[in-house]
Amino acid sequence: MEPIVRVDEVTKRYRLGKQNYVDALRGASLEVAPGEMVAIMGPSGSGKSTLMHIAGCLDAPDTGEVWLSGRRVDGLRGRDLARLRGREVGFIFQGFNLVPTMSALENVALAAEYAGASRRSASIVAHTLLESVGLGDRMRHLPSELSGGQQQRVAIARALVNDPSIVMGDEPTGDLDTATSDEIVTLLRRVNREKGTTFIIVTHNPEVAAACDRTVHMRDGVVDGQVLAVGVYPA
């Protein structure tokens, strides 16, 4: 099957000062099949977040090719990347990163509006999604009035609102306790199974990785090993 994401020999150098730089990626490659749920693990500074950002059209590589849904995206800039991010990709972050002055409903609807939906239709889709993640009674609450797990559910609904083909999770359970973390992973798995959404999840948590179909290990800016999960979680 044609992979939904293909990252081929990608390099990325971040300049910190005039002479000072970091090679975040030194020729990393990764293929993810549609509907697959992949965990990326590795020590800090191994390049896993950078790989995820580049695969998610948040950043452009210095060299190498990036393909998303059969389309080459590594040469795209600015507006085109923003459009792809809005429609093809969803993001979930460790710190939830909701807009603090907006209600749960508005936060979810915002992503739909950025993708071009009217305020009204964005609100309707957001409503449905928040109900599906179990927050039907919390829609008007501000992020500060929600628990960590609830905030992350809002963020998941936001990531799904434009029906993306792939969702990127940057340590999505990093700020949650074990029980809540389990709930979130179960929710992601459910979305993956029901909608066929592809997930790439950067994590330090072996239990999260174990819930995924496959774990990719990174070290020093390259992918250096892959493990296929064997039914730790009920399929």
229 binds another protein (CB under 8 A): no
H/E segment holding residue 99:
none
Closer residue to another protein (CB): 88 or 213: 88
Four-residue CA torsion sign, 88, 94, 98, 104: positive
Least separation, in Å, of the C-beta of 156 and another protein?
12
158 binds another protein (CB under 8 A): yes
- Torsion angles phi and psi, residue 204, rounded to 5: -100, -10
**Residues 6+ positions from 81 with CB-CB distance below 8 Å:** 57, 58, 60, 73
Closer residue to another protein (CB): 106 or 213: 106
Among 73, 91, 130, 212, the residue binding another protein under the rule CB under 8 A is: 91
151 binds another protein (CB under 8 A): no
Binding marks (x or -) toward another protein, 56..85, rule CB under 8 A?
x-xx------------------xx--xx-x
Task: Find how far residue 150's CA is from the centre of its chain.
Answer: 17
Bin 171: left if φ > 0, else alpha if -120 < ψ < 50, else beta: left
What whole-number distance in Å separates Cα of residue 139 and Cα of residue 56? 28
102 binds another protein (CB under 8 A): yes
What whole-number distance in Å separates Cα of residue 59 and Cα of residue 147? 31
Least separation, in Å, of the C-beta of 128 and another protein?
18
105 binds another protein (CB under 8 A): no
Contact footprint for another protein (CB under 8 A): 50, 53, 56, 58-59, 78-79, 82-83, 85-87, 90-91, 93, 97-102, 106, 110-111, 114-115, 158-159, 162
